[in-house]
């Protein structure tokens, strides 16, 4: 009986031990305690103070404010193009075959420099005509000189002298015409009878459409070379009809392109079109752009902003920095590390990406450009 009691006790003890191990193995995992967000200490109704390392600060992007010229209009879509006053499209005035190419795209050329040499029957014929006309004029001049001598010796009638002079004048006119034709071909000098196609102005070869052996014609649709001064470019915009009164010739502009973010290129309006496009109801405006850095390239897309006053600058902030409440606009300014002040501002022009501040903000101050809505919700919650 005693042994039976001992066996029962042992079974109960093992069962208890097994249950305890089961509970240890299957106990619910203990979750790690997450740090609670640090509540800001409010100094007054418009200021938040966070301690160093507060998680809210990691969601903020704070940037210094820069001054930009005050715009007259929102940025307009445009494109960069050649300045036609500093651009030459070179066609061949004669038919022929390309014998040798001297200049290619990217080369700097001087005015009058040979770009290529053509084997041209038209040029050879023009050169031969000029030589024949010069020779004929020389013979007529000698005949006139002899007639003058005979007339002075009373041997030749005055009528014969007049005829000799008329022949010489006609021959000289023909020689002048032939020489002018040769000169207009831009080939008064040649090498081995080849025609030299020359640059009309100094600049850089931006395009070329010639290969050795290519047959060229004077009535070709595309030029063989395009030469332009890269320091001078145009920005062309199509201005909406309702904004025509805001622009005028001589007005300063700023130009921005995607290739160089946050960089401005200066220029001015040189021409406002005389008529609207009847389909788009827009008018073309042409602007000259200072491209001494040669960063801008023809056919780039651009954003062109006509300026109200190039000398008057305003603080510019990203639209994401603004908090709108009714008719009021606010931004958050960093007074010191972790101390952020909500400040009321007066807006000037508000564009698609940026707004210009007329009152309430100074250049150089640091503003919250991302995360302003988070701060505003916390400040409203404190209130």
Q: Which of 86, 63, 73, 75 is nearest to 244 (CA)?
A: 73
- Can you give the pLDDT at residue 338? 86
- Can you give the pLDDT at residue 28? 46
* Bridge-based pairing state of the strands 301-318 and 76-82: antiparallel
DSSP state letters, 57-95: GGG-EEEE-EEEEEESS--EEEEEEE-GGGEEEE--SS-
Cβ atoms 255, 267 nearer than 8 A: yes
Cα torsion angle, 244, 248, 252, 258, sign: positive
* Residue in the block written with tokens 């595309």: 222
CA distances from 151 to 129, 156, 170, 256, 325 (A): 32, 5, 21, 80, 108
Q: Name the token pair of 371.
A: 């995360």
Cα torsion angle, 200, 203, 207, 211, sign: positive
Supply the Cα-derived Rg of the chain in whole angstroms: 42
SS3 label, residue 4: helix
- Can you give the pLDDT at residue 90? 93
- Residue 63 phi, psi dihedral angles, 5° rounding: -135, 150
- Domains along the sequence of the chain with CATH: 47-69+313-382 (2.40.420.20), 76-83+229-312 (2.40.30.170), 91-227 (2.40.50.100)
CB neighbours of residue 162 within 10 Å: 12
Cβ atoms 368, 59 nearer than 8 A: no
Q: Name the token pair of 14.
A: 């093992």
Cβ atoms 97, 317 nearer than 8 A: no
- Can you give the pLDDT at residue 178? 86
- Can you give the pLDDT at residue 351? 79
Look at the pTM and tell me if it is higher than 0.75: no
* Bridge-based pairing state of the strands 225-228 and 66-71: unpaired
pLDDT tens by residue, the chain, 383 residues: 444 444 455 444 444 445 444 443 344 454 455 555 566 666 667 888 888 888 888 888 999 998 888 888 888 999 999 999 999 999 998 899 999 999 988 899 999 899 999 988 888 888 888 889 999 999 999 999 998 998 888 888 889 889 999 999 999 999 999 888 887 776 555 656 788 889 989 999 999 888 888 899 988 899 999 999 999 999 999 999 999 999 999 999 999 999 998 788 999 999 999 999 999 999 999 999 999 999 999 999 999 999 987 778 889 998 999 998 888 899 999 998 888 999 999 998 887 788 889 888 989 999 999 888 888 888 876 54
- Can you give the pLDDT at residue 6? 46
- Can you give the pLDDT at residue 268? 95
């Amino acid at each position: 009986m005693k042994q039976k009691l001992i066996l029962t006790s042992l079974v109960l003890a093992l069962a208890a031990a097994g249950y305890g191990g089961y509970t240890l193995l299957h106990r619910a995992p203990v979750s790690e305690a997450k740090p609670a967000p640090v509540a800001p200490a409010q100094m007054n109704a418009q200021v938040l103070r966070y301690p160093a390392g507060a998680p809210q600060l990691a969601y903020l992007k704070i940037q210094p404010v820069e001054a930009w010229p005050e715009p007259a209009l929102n940025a307009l879509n445009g494109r960069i193009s050649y300045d036609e006053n500093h651009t030459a499209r070179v066609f061949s005035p004669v038919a022929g075959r390309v014998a040798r190419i001297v200049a290619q795209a990217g080369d700097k050329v001087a005015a009058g420099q040979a770009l290529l040499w053509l084997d041209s029957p038209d040029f050879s014929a023009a050169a031969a005509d000029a030589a024949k006309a010069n020779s004929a004029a020389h013979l007529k001049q000698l005949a006139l000189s002899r007639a003058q001598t005979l007339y002075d010796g009373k041997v030749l009638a005055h009528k014969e002298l007049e005829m000799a002079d008329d022949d010489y004048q006609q021959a000289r006119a023909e020689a002048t015409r032939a020489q002018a034709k040769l000169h207009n071909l831009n080939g008064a000098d040649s090498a081995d009878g080849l025609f030299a196609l020359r640059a009309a102005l100094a600049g850089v070869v931006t395009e070329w459409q010639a290969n050795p052996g290519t047959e060229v014609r004077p009535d070709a649709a595309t030029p063989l070379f395009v030469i332009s001064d890269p320091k001078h470019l145009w920005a062309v915009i199509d201005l909406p009809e309702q904004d025509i009164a805001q622009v005028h010739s001589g007005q300063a502009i700023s130009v921005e392109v995607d290739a160089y973010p946050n960089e401005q290129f200066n220029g001015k309006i040189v021409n406002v079109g005389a008529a609207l496009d009847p389909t788009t109801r827009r008018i073309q405006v042409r602007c000259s752009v200072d491209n001494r850095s040669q960063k801008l390239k023809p056919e780039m897309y651009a954003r062109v902003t006509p300026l109200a006053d190039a000398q008057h600058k305003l603080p510019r902030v990203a639209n994401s920095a603004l908090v709108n409440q009714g008719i009021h606009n606010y931004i958050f300014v960093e007074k010191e590390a972790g101390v952020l002040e909500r400040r009321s501002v007066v807006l000037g022009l508000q564009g698609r990406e940026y707004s210009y501040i007329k009152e309430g903000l100074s250049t150089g101050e640091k503003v919250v450009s991302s995360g302003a809505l988070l701060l505003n919700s916390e400040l409203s919650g404190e209130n």
